[in-house]
Amino acid sequence: MLKCKIKKAGIDVSISNGVLTLRGERKTEEETRDKKQHRIERFHGTFVRRFDLPDNIDQSAITAEYVDGVLDLNIPKTAKTSPETLKVDIR
């Protein structure tokens, strides 16, 4: 089994126009040696994931933490506001 751990430097998190974008690159190398063979396998690739954020998100307060290969995003909501009702005059 090949385990691929992405390093913190290989991850980019950004927000633009209400869209959260996760971008990263993974590189893995596995080497096996025994009496009859010497094998090296290399895997690499990039990924991008985009998520539309709802309107009630405080984009300036979003935080991210990366510990032991797990990216934890904290996306706080803004204070809940009730929809505003406007009276329209009929002429």
Residue indicated by tokens 């998100």: 57
Dihedrals φ, ψ of 8, to 5°? Answer: -60, -40
Distance between CA 26 and CA 24 in Å, rounded? 7
pLDDT tens sequence across 51-84:
999 988 888 899 999 888 888 999 999 877 667 7
Domain 8-74 CATH class label: mainly beta
**β partners of residue 25:** 46
The DSSP H or E segment spanning 35 is none
Other C-beta atoms lying within 10 Å of the C-beta of residue 59: 14
Q: Are 13 and 52 in contact (CB under 8 A)?
A: no
pLDDT over 60 at 1, yes or no: no
pLDDT of residue 76: 93
pLDDT over 90 at 14, yes or no: yes
